[in-house]
Copies of this chain bind each other. A is one copy, B any other.
Amino acid sequence: MDSVTKSLATLALNPTSVSHSSTNSPAAWRDTLSATSNVPSSFELIKTLVYKPKTAKTATPVPVVVIARESASVNAAAIGKKLNLKDLRLASEDLLNDFFSLDKDSLSPLALNQTSFPKVVTVVDASIADSSVPLALHALSSSSTVFLSSSDLLKYLRSLETEDVKLQELDLQNLESAPAAAASASKAPAKEKEDAKIEGAVQIAIGVKKEVDFPTWYTNVLLKADMLDYYNVSGCYILKPWSFSIWEEIQKWFDAEIKELGVQNSYFPLFVSSKVLEREKDHIEGFSPEVAWVTKAGNSDLEEPIAIRPTSETVMYPYYAKWIKSHRDLPLKLNQWNSVVRWEFKNPQPFLRTREFLWQEGHTAHLTKEEADIEVRQILDLYRRVYEELLAVPVIPGIKSEKEKFAGGLYTTTVEGFIPTTGRGIQGGTSHSLGQNFSRPEMFNIVVEDPTDPTNQRKTYVWQNSWGLSTRTIGVMVMVHGDNQGLVLPPRVACIQVVIVPCGITVNTSTETRTKIETACDELAKTLKKAGIKAKADLRDDKTPGYKFNDWEQKGVPLRLEIGPNDLAKRQTLGVRRDNGVKNPLPLENISSLVSQLLEAIQSDMFKRAQETYYSRLREVTAWEDVVPNLDAKNVVVIPWCEVEACEDDIKERSAKASEPTDERAPSAGAKSLAIPFDQSRWTPIEPGKTKCPACGRDAKRWTMFGRSY
């Protein structure tokens, strides 16, 4: 950092700089900065990409350094064409190290200095000059950031120019697209070349298009809809009322349903001793890298570190062994609504991958496998209904492969969702059969006398299930339904279903008319509330109707009702649907039942549209060569699979290799098995012994969904 400060100071630049914990992705960097003090209230991340052009093996490569706004899409092929360089590929870590003595997470325009600048081609996106907010640059370290204005950044870069080597200022957004067949690097989907910024977007809108910069779109929607805020412990987020109320709706519905099944709520401690945690080897192997350990209380060191539960199997089952003394104590069905901690080191993502998350975990013990199996499926069906009936998100119920099942369990069932924008699968909720793996004598020894044995000699180890559904549900809902105006809420989980906005009031409107309109809005809200509809009249006097429209659209309120002087005269209100923008006048007569019907229609249309999309992207594939192209086209492939674990590993490896990344932010990923759907009837029947697995040629067993995933 000292060298940076010095070279900046020679240009009379003394930028703000902050230290923070080390970050390894744009999302984590933004996240961390947002939670650091002395950071400007708005800023833009700058990314620095280094490409290596195709070079003769004997020649020293001249890397291309591209400096762009984080939100900009970078088309390497187009840059290569412009610069007349062939086959730009993202540079290896070795090359970065050779040229800059830095890794990719520390890279920044400040890595360019009088020594390195002449050795590379430096491209700066011309649009940087348009940025009016401070730019965040790594200060040669992933745990340090400086803020420079765009003009100061350009001033710095230009200061490095020599007679021979000049800065290349290119308009990256409008570079002529490289022909599709030109180079393998041109595989970036055409859409990426669009400007991520939405034309004419007003200040409060989402700012970037869902199809172009999905990660930024996602976090912007969450922030602008007031669902969530970043927190100063990385990977932890604040659930604000607008999202927490969705969780409350899910809780209310699911809690009532499981109570009908005889499940009771309880609360087990947050802490688990290391000895107990480590009892089940496979299980702990699955969780131990992510366990958070308490080692101190006040100023005293604890005698033994104590873990924070990553899940409660080992917390609960020693007591199941104590409480279950007879078959008359079965079934035992307990659930708890709590939070668990899994200290993941991968990139955190709000709702989808967080270090602490809210969920319910059900743990049941049964006398027979049959009874346990039935419950696994009953619960899974409730999870399906949470997604489909509450969140209007289609899911496909199925069973996980051996590789993907719950650590230590017998088999895992899942409801598998799909994010069309990225073409990735997402696990929605899982209901596990643990079999007798945890009840065995060498494990927790949960045993009763077999009541069917006339000699009363035979022991039976209980059959156990565990099942969990988390706040991930909310993230999936946002990703599936949100659009470029922001969040779109399904009516059943919206904490405001209808917002009523007074309209057509101008400076010429009489006080009397204004009062009339506002009273009408207020009364309409009351009428709807009486009918059990969650309605709100937005009577803020410092905001225009246009502002309010935007505001509630961002927040995803399913239905807007406008009332202006003309509406009042006609005894009607103008209804505007959030999901499809359709406007219709609605007579105030009988308004409650009209609105109820409309909300139901919205709920059902949202589900149908999402389901059609999901189904259209599920591709029956029987030849290996069709797998990767289908994945690249953002589909999930369904193949007649052999169900051999080695084959799954192989599919993952081969599908990852096959697609080269052109942008660090869309890392290539291999496909893994998502689920073996229970309903196999959708696909051509598998002929035993004839239908072969397209990956390995072994006999196929069942149609299995494979895809890239979250």
The answer on a CB contact under 8 Å between A265 and B244 is yes
The answer on a CB contact under 8 Å between A298 and B291 is yes
Q: Across the interface, name the chain B residue whose C-beta is closest to A291.
A: B298
The answer on a CB contact under 8 Å between B297 and A294 is no
The answer on a CB contact under 8 Å between A308 and B288 is no
A231 within 8 A of B: yes
For the complex of A and B, the 6 pairs showing the least CB-CB separation, nearest first, are: A297-B343, A241-B264, A236-B269, A293-B296, A239-B267, A289-B298
- Tell me the bound Cα distance from A476 to B356 in angstroms: 32
Q: Across the interface, name the chain B residue whose C-beta is closest to A318.
A: B232
Query: Nearest chain B CB to A491's CB is how many angstroms away?
Result: 19
- Tell me the bound Cα distance from A299 to B293 in angstroms: 9
The answer on a CB contact under 8 Å between A266 and B240 is yes
Taking Cβ atoms with an 8 Å cutoff, the residues of A that contact B are 21-22, 229, 231-233, 236-241, 244-245, 247-248, 264-273, 276, 288-299, 303-306, 308, 318-319, 322-323, 328, 334, 338-339, 341, 343, 345, 355-356, 358, 540, 542
Taken together, the copies of this chain in the complex come to: 2
User: Chain B residues near A232 (CB, 8 Å)?
Assistant: 273, 276, 318
Among A22, A233, A272, A290, find the residue whose CB has the most chain B CB atoms closer than 10 A.
Answer: A233
Query: Nearest chain B CB to A378's CB is how many angstroms away?
Result: 20
Knowing A21-B303, A294-B293 touch, does A270 contact B341 (C-beta < 8 A)?
yes
Choose one: B236, B264, B293, B296; the contact of A245 (CB below 8 Å): B264
User: Chain B residues near A319 (CB, 8 Å)?
Assistant: 229, 231, 238
- Tell me the bound Cα distance from A381 to B238 in angstroms: 29
- Tell me the bound Cα distance from A356 to B297 in angstroms: 13
Choose one: B264, B273, B322, B334; the contact of A233 (CB below 8 Å): B273
- Tell me the bound Cα distance from A296 to B21 in angstroms: 15
Knowing A290-B298, A292-B297, A318-B232 touch, does A267 contact B308 (C-beta < 8 A)?
no
Query: Nearest chain B CB to A209's CB is how many angstroms away?
Result: 27
User: Chain B residues near A244 (CB, 8 Å)?
Assistant: 264-267
The answer on a CB contact under 8 Å between A290 and B297 is yes
Query: Nearest chain B CB to A568's CB is how many angstroms away?
Result: 27
The answer on a CB contact under 8 Å between B293 and A297 is yes
Knowing A229-B319, A289-B298, A343-B297 touch, does A334 contact B269 (C-beta < 8 A)?
no
- Tell me the bound Cα distance from A540 to B327 in angstroms: 13
User: Chain B residues near A266 (CB, 8 Å)?
Assistant: 238-241, 244
- Tell me the bound Cα distance from A310 to B509 in angstroms: 55
- Tell me the bound Cα distance from A141 to B318 in angstroms: 27
Q: Across the interface, name the chain B residue whose C-beta is closest to A334.
A: B241
- Tell me the bound Cα distance from A232 to B338 in angstroms: 19
User: Chain B residues near A322 (CB, 8 Å)?
Assistant: 229
Knowing A264-B245, A289-B299, A295-B295 touch, does A269 contact B343 (C-beta < 8 A)?
no
Query: Nearest chain B CB to A271's CB is how many angstroms away?
Result: 5
User: Chain B residues near A268 (CB, 8 Å)?
Assistant: 231, 238-239
- Tell me the bound Cα distance from A394 to B318 in angstroms: 38
The answer on a CB contact under 8 Å between B298 and A288 is yes
Q: Across the interface, name the chain B residue whose C-beta is closest to A287.
A: B298
Q: Across the interface, name the chain B residue whose C-beta is closest to A231.
A: B269
